[in-house]
Amino acid sequence: MGSPTGQQRQFPSGAAYAEALQHTQLCFEHPELKGARPELTKLGLPRAISGAFASVFSLTSAASGRRYAVKCFTRHVPDQELRYQAISRRLAQLDPAELSQPWNLGFEYLPDAIGVGQERYPVLKMEWIEAVTLSSWLDDNHTDRFAVDRLADRFEALTRDLSEHEIAHGDLQHGNLLVASDDTLRLVDYDGMYVPALAGLGGTERGHRNYQSPMRGNDDFGAALDRFSAWVIFMSLKATAADPALWHRLHEPSGEFLLLTEEDFKSPGGSTGLQTLLTHPDPTVRGLADQVKSLAFQPLDVLPPLAHAIPKQRAAATTTTSASAPPTTTHSGTGGLPDWMTGHVPPQAALSATSPDGFHIRTPLDVVTAALWPLLLAATALVIVAGFPTPLIGSGVPVIVAAVITAFARSRRVERARSRAVLGRLTDELAQLDDPVKAAEKLRKDKAKFDAAETKRTTAYPQEQNRLTARYHAALKEAEKRKVRKQRDIDKKIDGLSEDLRKALAKALADKQAAYVRDQLGRRLISQSPPHGIGPKLAARLAAAGIRSAADFKGYRSVQNNSYNSTGAVLVLTSGRAINVQGIGEAKAIALDVWRKDLFASAVARQPSALSAAERQQIEQGITHRRAQLALQRKAVESEIEASREQARKHLEDGKERLARENTLAGDRARQQRQEFGRRTVALQQNSALHGRLSASMEAARLRHRGLSYASYVRFLYIGR
């Protein structure tokens, strides 16, 4: 983003440099650096000081014994060599005698200076300086108001040196401003520096977030780059000089900032730090804080240079004269408030929570009231001494009048009104804030409820998954059972097929024989070869009754006629029906049956004893067909069960997918919820700090208000305070 595309060279990491620097005899060619002794950590590794783009190592030259800071780059910077050459040339042109202090460092850009692995990379060889960072200097010296104030002025002089030569550092911050033992400043880390020769190249970094204007963008690169950070640093130093306690109040021991952070510039309304500075009793602190606040929302190039903050006589006192004199300013009695602050300092700022205690400056009404007391007291005394016969109560009237007038005069005092206004405003502000204790309790409860729900959800998820899997396994088991049962039935049928074949063959033979016998019997007509005792007449009667051949009947039954006590007979047809034929008695029936039986016996004797090959084959084919059908059925069972298995699996997968989807959604919701909790916690902390501050102001305002009592007013009337 912002950087030119194309093949960007990859650089070694800080640890890779530290490894290479264990053998400076091998990794360097430069005579000053070859064999140089690196400063080591207690683990015996070269000690690094790292930033976002490079690691710096301390090396003492074996050749000259001089100590260098060698900067090894860990990231590609476009046009790096060109930039350093331009910066080096520009800085070399500066006349040391013209600078406010010797802040610039000598450096040499050495291409291909260090070997790491198979490749060689550039380094920046810088002189080593003994100095401490601005933040650690402040840790040690913030109580020395004079030294801090002097440093603020030196810092202003340094920024003037830079802007006079149209140079911008690009990343002014507590780690790049070092303080030498004589309390003058050194500026280090020129990676992002702007010099006029680089105009148009674009920036390489955006500077430390806690020192930059919210308006600074990726492409900002020019002489005005440092303006905002300069104001931030100057304000921090001046404020600390005015009130050293601010260092502990606003600076966190390990915070990467001085008094204010990025958040304070971005949302000044919610900033405790900025509010503290804006309402500070010291007008310089208030004014500078207000300036920083208003500059945060202006484009970089319209920001005023820091030099405008310094009245000429003070600048002249602490710094060398400069070519372009800062605008001359004259001061009224506003406590050394420079010109530019007029209009920046809110007029009520002094009144707010820091108005002085008690009553001040008597008004004509106060004077009159003060004069009234002795007058009225004297009048009362006169009345009593003169012995006027007034009732005792009457003599008290003047005192009461004086007291009432005093009360009236007190109520007209502007201090009372202001104090009430302050109290009222604080009460309103407090009322608008949620009670942090209650809010914290609510947050805790909400969180506990949410956590409980989350625990339930996260334990329910695998349970749901298990339930799905169990259902799947049950479905598989059921399908398997069904398959076994169906296939067993089919297998039974297949096994029975040979028995079926035998039965079918036997039945076919029996049918064939029966058909032969029936055919033979059918051929013997009663009319042609009548049995004994059956004449043509009887034969004709028999034929009329449907009995023409031996095949047409199958026996007889004797019939007892009880009324005549005689015995007759009926013939039984092949169909099983019995008929009575006139003229056929028992004897004739027996004769017919004997005839038929004889014929039957001779037919059975001649019947076929086996099936023909064709008949046999047909039957066997039938059985083979059946076997094939059963095998098909068996196969169908297999695929039917496979289908239900497949369905169960799909069911499982769908279910799992649905669960996963629901879980992801729930996860998203949980994430948002937790993020929200985070935001609430942060808001709560800020709120609670603001609440504490307001409560403290409230308490102070109450005390002051109580100080405006009747008694103190009476005292003020006569003493004047």
Where along the sequence are the contacts to other proteins (CB under 8 A)? 1, 3, 7-8, 10, 13-15, 17-20, 22-23, 26-27, 29, 42-45, 47-52, 55, 75-76, 115, 117-118, 132-133, 136, 173, 175, 208-210, 252, 254-256, 261-262, 454, 458, 461-462, 465, 660, 663-664, 667-668, 670-672, 674-675, 677-679, 681-682
**Is residue 344 within 8 Å of residue 294, measured between CB atoms?**
yes
228 or 359: CB nearest other proteins = 228
Number of helices (H), then strands (E), in the chain? 20, 12
Structure tokens at 608: 């076929």
- Give min distance, CB of 101 to other proteins, in A: 21
User: Do residues 227 and 300 touch, judged by C-beta distance below 8 A?
Assistant: yes
For every residue of 70-121, DSSP letters joined together read: EEEE-S--TTHHHHHHHHHHHHHTS-GGGSSS-----EEEEEEEEEETTEEE
Which residue lies nearer to other proteins by CB, 209 or 512? 209
Query: Hey, is 563 helix, strand or coil?
Result: coil
Give me the helix-helix angle, 392-411 and 710-719, nearest 10°: 80
For residue 451, the minimal CB distance to other proteins (Å) is 9
Q: Nearest approach, Cβ of 134 to other proteins (angstroms)?
A: 12
Between residues 250 and 581, which has the closer beta carbon with respect to other proteins? 250
Q: How far is the CB of 136 from other proteins (least distance, A)?
A: 7
Pick between residue 229 and residue 291 the one whose CB is nearest to other proteins: 229
Q: Which is nearer to other proteins, 128 or 516 (CB)?
A: 128
CA distance 528 to 522: 12
* Under 8 Å between Cβ of 107 and 81: no
Rg of the chain over all Cα atoms, to the nearest angstrom: 60
Helical pair 414-432 and 613-707, crossing angle rounded to 10 deg:
170
CA dihedral (40, 43, 45, 48) positive or negative: negative
Taking each helix axis from N to C end, the angle separating 392-411 and 364-386, rounded to the nearest 10 degrees, works out to 180
Task: Determine the Cα–Cα distance for residues 27 and 33; give it in Å rounded to an integer.
Answer: 9
Say if residues 158 and 176 touch (Cβ distance below 8 Å).
no
| Residue 270 C-beta: closest distance to other proteins, Å | 13
Q: What is d(CA 40, CA 177) in angstroms, rounded to the nearest whole number?
A: 24
Whole-angstrom CA distances from 634 to 479, 491, 494, 637, 641 are: 15, 8, 10, 5, 11
> Please, what is the minimum distance in Å from the beta carbon of residue 45 to other proteins?
6
Of 161, 162, 154, nearest to 180 by C-alpha is 154
Q: Which is nearer to other proteins, 208 or 704 (CB)?
A: 208
Structure tokens at 707: 């100080």
Work out how close the CB of 268 gets to other proteins at its nearest, in angstroms, rounded to a whole number.
18
| Minimum distance, C-beta of residue 684 to other proteins, in the bound complex (Å) | 9
CB contact at 8 A, 298 and 214? no
| Whole-number Å distance between alpha carbons of 436 and 689 | 9
Q: How far is the CB of 5 from other proteins (least distance, A)?
A: 10
In the complex, the smallest distance separating the C-beta of residue 502 from other proteins, rounded to whole angstroms, is: 57
> Among residues 178 and 550, whose Cβ is nearest to other proteins?
178
Q: Closer to other proteins at the Cβ: 190 or 713?
A: 190
Cα separation of the two ends of the chain:
66
Q: Of 160 and 174, which CB lies nearer to other proteins in the complex structure?
A: 174
**Shortest distance in whole angstroms from residue 664 CB to other proteins:** 7
Q: How far is the CB of 450 from other proteins (least distance, A)?
A: 11
Structural tokens at position 70: 């060698």
- Separation CA 469–CA 50 (nearest Å): 54
Whichever of 76 and 715 has its CB closer to other proteins, that residue is: 76
In the chain, the amino acid numbered 387 is G
Distance CA 287, CA 214 (A): 20
Please identify, using beta-carbon distances, which residue of 133 and 607 lies nearer to other proteins: 133
Q: How many CA atoms lie within 13 A of 672 on its CB side?
A: 5
The nearer residue to other proteins, 16 or 475, going by C-beta atoms, is 16
Q: Which residues contact 157 (CB under 8 A, 6 or more apart)?
A: 100, 101, 315, 318, 319, 320
Given the complex with other proteins, which of 448 and 540 has the nearer CB atom? 448
The CB-of-112 to other proteins minimum distance in angstroms stands at: 12
